[in-house]
Structure 1
Amino acid sequence: MEKRRIAVVGFGHVGCGAVEALEVAPDLELAGVVLQDEGEIRRACCSLGSVPVVRHLAELEKVDAALLAVPSRCVPKLAPPILETGVATVDCYDIHGDPLMTLRATLDPIAREHGTAAVISAGWDPGTDSVVRTLLEALVPRGITYTNFGPGMSMGHTVVIKGFEGVEDALSLTIPKGCGLHKRYVYLKTRPGTDFDALVARISQDPYFAHDEVHFFPCEDVQALVDTGHAVHLERRGSAGKTHNQKVDFLMSVTNPAATGQVLVSAARAVLRQRPGAYTLPEIPPVDFLPGDRESLLHRLI
């Protein structure tokens, strides 16, 4: 069986996780890593040995799909030109609601026009948790689903904070309060001369934080606090048919970058099995995420 060739764009926590998942995938292979920053290029070259590390996707030989392991706010600009070359894209865009649906609506006609496909928000939330929420609602059609994150490090929120002027290092932790409510603990190491209170005010207005209860703490050694573990507890309570008091739970505890990287790689397999267009994870048959032929997989899983 010829392995499909997958490029990884970005080599942060999630990019590293995706590379590791590709290294053990039986049907996929790493075509190379795409980076712009010179320091990141040197670090990747040291880590990856003979794996090509390039500045542009076009420098790699035959790429079937590109995994966009980049900050979410970079995806809307980065994905379209890749799709226009006929290469499929998979991203881990993590902004829920209207921005996610706008991205899907933007990429769908581009992918269709160029005969390829895109999978968006292929992380674990949004992503695999979205699939679980769909199944929970199928089991319990009337009711409420509570999504409880953490406690753990939010990579997306941490990346956003690090982009603020005056921040030298940062960590954002998600703390569950129960019934879908959360608070965030943000640890900040600021650059000399930075007004801490003014910085906090700016961060608090960012859409990533504006709707949450957030507590900020000055910190001289953020790295001493970093643990990339995370968790989620999904609860669905309601009725099935005319029967009330139905309750279904899903609990997951993971190393965040490894989980996200693995979902990206599984979605890379799935995107190559879809018709042209843009998809979220709940729209894709679950069997398409797994290696092997469909009949054998169904025989084993059913």
Structure 2
Amino acid sequence: MEKIKIGIIGYGNLGKGAEKAVKLSKDMELVGIFTRRNKSEIDSDSNIYNISELEEFKGDIDVCILCGGSATDLWKQGPEIAKNFNTVDSFDTHAKIPEYFSQIDGSAKSGNNLSLISTGWDPGLFSIHRLFSQSIMPVGETYTFWGKGVSQGHGDAIRQIEGVKDAVQYTIPVEKVISEIQSGNILDLTTRDKHIRECYVVVEEEADKNKIENEIKSMPNYFSDYDTYVNFVSEDELKLNHSGMPHGGRVLRIGKTSENIKQIYEFKLDLGSNPEFTSAINVAYARAVYRLNKEGTKGAISVFDVPVSYLSIISPEEQRRLLL
């Protein structure tokens, strides 16, 4: 079997999840993990390289899986790496996706490469189900709810604030609103009506907590549109009570297929590990990127542009026999 050669960029929670997923994929080979950390800090039996060595592997890696954060890492790494490699990333700042797509598209095309942006489960799987349900029922309303769970991107955004040592952020849906929609009621909801955001933050000893709290609550694209609660805790408390990575959510669409027939479309996830599931999706899409690039596809694409059959290790014939 021809092996797809994978490079993992970054070794935080997503990078560790990608490493596990690649090792479970018998059609893939992990060339190496590329990180800014010292090699001595990495507890892994995979090949470890400094990020500065990545370009030396041009031609030896089929797809790079970018596991940095959306707040800062991907803005810089995405366009740079797309010039030399096919890439997959899980950029998740929804409001900035068109701008990010444009930057990646130019970089990938300049190097005759293919880059899939914003995969994972939202954006990613949830995006697909929003499109599916809207296409099937063009008359209706779609609602997306996340949690209760840890949002990696939002936690990463808090950790970029000066004076913050560590942070965990929970996205919590308003269950009363979900129940009303599941009953078939179409509601006019603001962003603030659907979720609250609860933050647990460890700060440096001399940090200004009031300043940090205000900076969190006013952060655009992440917290400013939500009722946000900031709790300052010790490192021990954060480790003891907030070290897990559960998450989940659902896409709901209430629509009509005729004047008097109301239909409810729902897709739901309940995840024991947000980063491992996100990484597993990224790895499946790396397989698709490899295949599409072999066919000549270049530039930036999204999950909307990928045939679902390209995600699977099994042949189209087996897919039709076993799954259709």
Shared fold per TM-score greater than 0.5: yes
Q: CA deviation at 1:241?
A: 4.5
In the superposition, relative to structure 1, how do residues 50 and 184 fare at CA in structure 2: closer, same or farther (>3 Å)? closer
- 2: CA distance between counterparts of 1:247 and 1:110? 41
> When the two structures are aligned, how many residues end up with a matched partner?
296
Q: Which position in structure 1 is the counterpart of 2:203?
A: 190
- 2: CA distance between counterparts of 1:213 and 1:35? 36
- 1: CA distance between counterparts of 2:69 and 2:141? 31
Partner-residue secondary structure (3-state), 1:199: helix
User: Does the CA-based 8 Å contact 1:32-1:54 persist in structure 2?
Assistant: no
Q: CA deviation at 1:53?
A: 3.0
* CA deviation map 1:232-264 (0-9, x unaligned): 121110112445311111111111011111011
- 2: CA distance between counterparts of 1:18 and 1:217? 31
Equivalent positions of 1:1-302 (< 5 A) are: 1-38=1-38, 41-44=39-42, 47-55=43-51, 56-60=53-57, 62-72=60-70, 73-85=72-84, 87-97=85-95, 99-177=96-174, 178-179=177-178, 181-207=194-220, 208-220=222-234, 221-226=237-242, 227-254=244-271, 255-274=273-292, 275-302=297-324
Q: CA deviation at 1:152?
A: 0.8
CA RMSD of aligned residues (A): 1.7
Q: Which position in structure 1 is the counterpart of 2:186?
A: none
In the superposition, relative to structure 1, how do residues 6 and 50 fare at CA in structure 2: closer, same or farther (>3 Å)? closer
If the length of structure 1 is used for normalisation, what is the TM-score? 0.93
Larger mean CA deviation between 2-11 and 51-60 belongs to: 51-60
- 2: CA distance between counterparts of 1:230 and 1:93? 17
Q: CA deviation at 1:25?
A: 0.4
Q: CA deviation at 1:116?
A: 1.4
Q: Percent identity?
A: 29
Gaps of 5+ in 2: 179-190
Gaps of 5+ in 1: none
Q: Which aligned segments of 4 or more residues in structure 1 are displaced greater than 4 angstroms? A: none
User: Does the CA-based 8 Å contact 1:31-1:52 persist in structure 2?
Assistant: no
In the superposition, relative to structure 1, how do residues 253 and 105 fare at CA in structure 2: closer, same or farther (>3 Å)? same
- 1: CA distance between counterparts of 2:307 and 2:98? 19
User: Does the CA-based 8 Å contact 2:5-2:63 persist in structure 1?
Assistant: yes
